[in-house]
Structure 1
Amino acid sequence: MSVINAVIGLGAPVFMPILFLVIGLVFGLGVGKAFKAGMLVGVGFVGVNLVIGFLLDSLSGATKLMVDRLGLNLTVLDVGWGTASTIGWGSPLVPVVVVVFLALNLLLLVLGITKTVDIDIFNYWIFLLVGAVAFSASGSFWVGVGACVAAFVLALVVGDLIAPFVQKQYNLKGVSFPHFTCLNFVPIGIAVNWAVERTPGLRRIDFNPESISKRFGVLGEPLVIGLVLGVLMGFGAGYGPGEAVILGVDVAASMFILPKMIDILIEGLTTVRDGAEIRLKKWFPNREFYFGMDTALLIGEPSVLATGVLLIPIALLLAFVLPGNKVLPFVDLPSLMFLMALVTPFCKRNMFRMLITGTLALILIMYAGSDIAPWFTGAAATSGITIPDGANEITNLVGGATTPIGWLIIRLAALF
């Protein structure tokens, strides 16, 4: 665990190049080619992290002011995915769960139950968070471990099932996304798409980046959409015209630059994937394998970014009007775009359908967060997290514990 924690602690920009270098050498790419591929992945992650961090920082000030202006007085504070990941990695479950995950992934590959080699090790925190809250709810260490394993296996299996659709939509081969948080909302997206397709009038509404661009010309380009959304966010936060325009330019820049950074990462990924595919077909002629990756690879899609920004005011409105809600959306508001990353192919990149899906997802998240807040807060205390001043209890929006299946696993754990 000391070695694993030390390597993960270096961060994706260092950890991923090392990992892809090793994978490239295993599959016979040669030192030079494997090294270059690994460095491209690392450079890509640096670029993606810089742009996403810049975007989230730009939006965070506006979202804080929007919360303050609404005067919401709710008792469960959203502390964000960063704190939630610390809770997961700080859980007593970590030494057992990480070893179990690595062994279980290998076993499931050998048995043919999954095609995914999950190399997205940092995001193990999502499974660990579910287990940590289940541990808090049940008081049983092994129930917590079981909760982690249940979430992990579900993510691998469902990730395999939707991989062909995601690969086609994003033009990515040989990749899957066993991201437990995002996978939870795919069934909602499928149901919304089915319902809208069968509703006269609604099925004719098509807000995707191409149709908007075709109808409005340059005004429909992602650059302009980002500018408009950013300016509207600024005005909603009470910014003056100058500050609102700056925020608009920041959002527009992020929407334009992020796909370029992702292209660099994918170039390195593709090199390793192609080499691995050749070797794996020789070793296992009748098998197909995927690399399990982070959904950050998908955030550059304009429909995902635009929908995520639009969900911020919707989340605040829902917090105000939902009866029985206790959750105050806060730190995770700029990260809501991640909820839509895997929904996009099943809603046909139609932002109208994605907004409906995202709204339903937020309703479920807030009620789940309200319900499990005492156990979530207990898990934080176990991991050494200090509760912020003025908050009675805590939760987060973009994490596994407050998803529908995560909530169900925790609720079942509480029965033991």
Structure 2
Amino acid sequence: MAVIQTIINLGAAVMMPIIFFILGIIFGLKPSKAFKAGMLVGIGFTGVNMVINLLLTNLGPASKAMVTQMGLKLTVVDTGWPTASTIGWGTPIMPVLVVSFLVLNALMLVFKLTKTVDIDIFNYWIFLLLGAVIYAATNSFWLAVVMTLIVFGITLVVADLTAPYVQKQYNLKGISFPHLTCLAWVPFGIVGNWICEKIPGLNKIKMDPETIQKRFGVLGEPLTLGFLLGLAIGIMAHFPITKIISLAINVAAAMYLLPKMIDVLVSGLVIVRDQVEGQLKKWFPKREFYIGMDTALLIGEPSVLASGLILIPIAIVLAFILPGNKVLPFVDLASLMFLLALITPFAHRNMLRMIVSGTLVLICIMYVGTSIAPFYTKAAVQSGIAVPNGIKYMTNFIGSATTWIGWVLTEIGLMLKPLL
């Protein structure tokens, strides 16, 4: 656990190059080529993180200003995914679960129950967060462990099932995304797409990036779209003109640079993936394997970024109008595009359909967040996180506990609690 924790503390930009270098050596790459592949992955992750941080740093204050302008005062506050990841890695059940995840993945591969080799260890926090909330709700160490392991195993299987669609849409051969936060919303993408197909007129509207660019020329390019969305968000935040223009340029920069940084990352990934794929075909000629990665690889898609930006004001309005909602969108507002990463292939990159699906996702998150807030907050305290002054309950948007799966498992845990 000390070794694993040390590697995790290095962050994805350092951890992933090490993992890819080791994978390359194991599967027969020359050390020089394995080093190059690992470095490209590391440089790509560093670039992706820099651009995402640029986006979040600029969108964060704007999102919070929009909340202030609406005068929202709700009792359950979104404290963001960084706090959620700290809860996950700090939960008392973490050591048992992390080792169990590695063992379970290996066993499922041996017994041909999954094709996915989940090397995205940094994002284990997503599963750990779910376990932490179940543990807080039930006070049962082993029930939380068992339920979380079941979800982990199911996630690997679902990652296999969605991989062909994602690979085709994003041109990422041999990659899957065992990312519970994003996979949980795939059914919402399917439902949202179905709703749009059944509404006359709406089913004729095409809003994929290529159609928009073809119709509007330079005005439809991602960088222009980012600039216009940045202007709109800055105006809704009541920023002064200088801050509005600065926000618009930074959002445009993120829309333009993020795909280029992801291309660097993928170029390193492809070197190792091709070697691994070739070697595995020799060792296991009748089997197929996927490398499990972080959905950060998908955020550079223009339709994902643009739709995520549009969801920011929608989330604030929903918080205001939904009856019974107690969740105040706050820190994770700037990260809403992550909710759309795996919806995109099922909405055919049509931003209208992605926004419809995203709206359904937001409604679900707010009601689930309202329901599990006491347990989420208790999990934070059990992980050594103090509840900020002036906040009654905590929650987040980009996590596992506030998905419909998190709510169902928490409710099952509460039903089983009297039997323990």
TM superposition score normalised by structure 1:
0.99
CA distance in 2, matches of 1:147, 1:309: 34
Kindly report which structure 2 residues correspond to 1:131-210, keeping only aligned pairs within 5 A, or say none.
131-210=131-210
> How many Å apart are 1:242 and its aligned residue?
2.1
CA distance in 2, matches of 1:354, 1:206: 12
> How many Å apart are 1:82 and its aligned residue?
0.2
Equivalent position of 2:56 in the other structure: 56
CA distance in 1, matches of 2:74, 2:196: 34
The amino acid of 2:13's aligned partner reads P
Equivalent position of 2:342 in the other structure: 342
Write out per-residue CA displacement over residues 63-119 of structure 1, whole angstroms, 9 at most, x where no aligned residue. 111111111010001000000000000001111001110000000001111000000
What RMSD, in angstroms, separates the aligned Cα atoms of the two structures?
Answer: 0.7
Equivalent position of 2:298 in the other structure: 298
TM superposition score normalised by structure 2:
0.98
The amino acid of 1:373's aligned partner reads A
Equivalent position of 2:278 in the other structure: 278
Kindly report which structure 2 residues correspond to 1:228-239, keeping only aligned pairs within 5 A, or say none.
228-239=228-239
CA distance in 1, matches of 2:306, 2:411: 34
The share of aligned pairs that are identical, in percent, is 61
Equivalent position of 2:241 in the other structure: 241
> How many Å apart are 1:127 and its aligned residue?
0.4
Range moving further from structure 2, 192-201 or 66-75: 192-201
Write out per-residue CA displacement over residues 15-63 of structure 1, whole angstroms, 9 at most, x where no aligned residue. 1111001000000001111011001100100000000011000100101
Equivalent position of 1:289 in the other structure: 289
Equivalent position of 2:405 in the other structure: 405
CA distance in 2, matches of 1:149, 1:118: 14
CA distance in 1, matches of 2:191, 2:372: 26
Give SS of 1:146's match.
helix
> How many Å apart are 1:14 and its aligned residue?
1.0
Equivalent position of 2:267 in the other structure: 267
Tell whether the 8 Å contact from 1:311 to 1:359 is kept in structure 2 after alignment.
Answer: yes
Asked if 1:312 corresponds to 2:312, the answer is: yes
For structure 1, the 5+ residue unaligned runs are none
Tell whether the 8 Å contact from 1:79 to 1:330 is kept in structure 2 after alignment.
Answer: yes
Equivalent position of 1:42 in the other structure: 42
Give SS of 1:207's match.
coil
Tell whether the 8 Å contact from 1:58 to 1:247 is kept in structure 2 after alignment.
Answer: yes
> How many Å apart are 1:321 and its aligned residue?
0.4
The amino acid of 2:32's aligned partner reads G
For structure 2, the 5+ residue unaligned runs are none
> How many Å apart are 1:143 and its aligned residue?
1.1
CA distance in 2, matches of 1:408, 1:146: 15
The amino acid of 2:360's aligned partner reads L
Give SS of 1:332's match.
helix
Write out per-residue CA displacement over residues 308-352 of structure 1, whole angstroms, 9 at most, x where no aligned residue. 000000000000000000100000000000000000010000000
CA distance in 2, matches of 1:262, 1:411: 39
Equivalent position of 2:113 in the other structure: 113
Equivalent position of 2:70 in the other structure: 70
Give SS of 2:117's match.
strand
Tell whether the 8 Å contact from 1:130 to 1:147 is kept in structure 2 after alignment.
Answer: no
Give SS of 1:291's match.
strand
Tell whether the 8 Å contact from 1:147 to 1:410 is kept in structure 2 after alignment.
Answer: no
Moved over 4 A (4+): none
Write out per-residue CA displacement over residues 141-171 of structure 1, whole angstroms, 9 at most, x where no aligned residue. 0111122112211211111101000001000
Equivalent position of 1:388 in the other structure: 388
- Alignment length, in residue pairs? 416
> How many Å apart are 1:246 and its aligned residue?
1.0
